[in-house]
Amino acid sequence: MLPEPNFPVKPDEFIGRQIHLDTFADALQSSVGTGRMASFAVLGDWGIGKSSLLLKFASTCSGSIPRILPVTFSVSKDISDYLRFAEALCDRLADALLASDSLGTAIRAEIENWKLTRVSLGAVAIDRKTRQYYLSSGSALLRHALSEAWEHFIQPAYSGAVFFLDDLHNLATPTVQDTALIIRDQFQSFGIEGVNLSVCFSAKRDYFAGIRSFAEPAVRFYNKCFLDPFTPEETLAYTRAVFGSTQVDLLGTSQWLYEKTFGHLYFLAFISRDLWSQYHVRRFTNPVHLWQGVFGRLERGKFTTDLAQLSDKEIAFLRAIAASDEDEINPAPFAQRFHPQYFRRLGDKGLLIRAGRGRYKLYHPLFRQFLQQHE
């Protein structure tokens, strides 16, 4: 395997995460009997492997018997509201159906036509600017269009479809809570009506944290997969996949990689990729002496870019956190110099992680080391 830090791993090169893979496979298996597939939430911090797991789940569906149609959809920040989201989702469904190899010409034309006409929203004559407009028209569209697609295109060929929504936290209009709840309502009612459409989304680890009791059903509805960094065993499997065919000392290198990365997937991928390139210039068995160079490239390739998106005050705030003795900090001592907003803003940017109630930490010890070294 050649690591690519900026891309999700290919499903056939996917490593570890056995518990989550088993849970998903069990759910698929039991959906054969019940006629409805459970919905999943894959939750984790930045760069921890969310997209990779979603793609792996999707590939599990592709190979399943009876057939389940996976529809993958990356929720980007420019999807400005729930109505746009609903439209884009229907388009992705049409594309997934059209990509299926066993379609006759007639049904192909029907799907193309469905994609174009989907539904007339004329009936929803409310002021487009209100939040209710986007929510009610978006859900009307989904309800109508997906039921139609189920009946005409999905059910004849598949026993169900799963929508894989990557980075759902990006859909925050009107609010994250509204969208979590409305998606739950939508897919739960499909389940009740015997329409086997379900959803598997990824989002930040604290996605449900802002949802208070009113929306609790939205939380309970999903099987939650919290993604942690790799264990030392998974790190060894990763090291073997990258360096298995070289003369590199696998056990020593994997321990060293674990010491540096603590199993964080992005850093594992970045550092392994760097070592891999170096190995092909000059062979080595142990990478320890290469660390200075690797860290320098990590600074330029990643940490400097992290800081480039911040204001001076935000950078000062991060440095103050890095300078504290503890790994995890309590906001109180910072309250005088920095408004509490900073915690939220840097959290949204993925640089600060909420480690527990009233506890925060920088997203990775290597980032902390970088901030400490570059005053």
Ligand X SMILES: Nc1ncnc2c1ncn2[C@@H]1O[C@H](COP(=O)(O)OP(=O)(O)OP(=O)(O)O)[C@@H](O)[C@H]1O
Give the residues lining the site for Mg ion (CB under 5 A). Answer: 51
Build a one-symbol-per-residue string for 214-253: x at contacts with ligand X by CB under 6 A, - elsewhere.
Answer: ----------------------------------------
Alpha helices in the chain (DSSP H): 18-34, 50-62, 82-99, 105-117, 131-149, 176-192, 216-220, 232-243, 250-261, 265-279, 291-298, 304-308, 312-323, 341-348, 365-373
Residue 150 is classified by DSSP as I
Q: Nearest 5°: CA angle at 44, between 307 and 332?
A: 60
Q: Which is nearer to ligand X, 5 or 70 (CB)?
A: 5
- Least separation, in Å, of the C-beta of 27 and Mg ion? 22
- Which one of ligand X, Mg ion, none is in contact with 39 (Cβ closer than 5 to 8 A by kind)? none
- Least separation, in Å, of the C-beta of 238 and ligand X? 6
Residue nearest to ligand X (CB): 49
- Give the end-to-end CA distance of the chain in Å, rounded to a whole number: 37
The footprint of ligand X on residues 10-29 (CB under 6 A) is 14-17
- Least separation, in Å, of the C-beta of 70 and ligand X? 16
* CA–CA distance, 12 with 200 (Å, rounded to integer): 20
Q: Does 5 bind ligand X (CB under 6 A)?
A: yes
DSSP letters along 171-187, please? --SS-HHHHHHHHHHHH
* CA–CA distance, 182 with 191 (Å, rounded to integer): 14
Q: Which is nearer to ligand X, 49 or 70 (CB)?
A: 49
- Least separation, in Å, of the C-beta of 212 and Mg ion? 27
Question: Which of 40, 121, 110 is CA-nearest to residue 87?
Answer: 121
- Least separation, in Å, of the C-beta of 51 and Mg ion? 3
- Which one of ligand X, Mg ion, none is in contact with 48 (Cβ closer than 5 to 8 A by kind)? ligand X
The footprint of ligand X on residues 259-288 (CB under 6 A) is 265-266, 269
Which amino acid type is present at position 339?
H
The footprint of ligand X on residues 154-193 (CB under 6 A) is none
Q: Does 9 bind ligand X (CB under 6 A)?
A: yes
Question: Which of 334, 315, 310 is CA-nearest to residue 324?
Answer: 334
Question: Which of 32, 92, 19, 21 is CA-nearest to residue 57?
Answer: 21
The footprint of ligand X on residues 28-57 (CB under 6 A) is 44, 46-52
- Least separation, in Å, of the C-beta of 266 and Mg ion? 10
Q: Which is nearer to ligand X, 49 or 287 (CB)?
A: 49
**Footprint on this chain of ligand X (rule: CB under 6 A):** 3-5, 7-9, 14-17, 44, 46-52, 265-266, 269
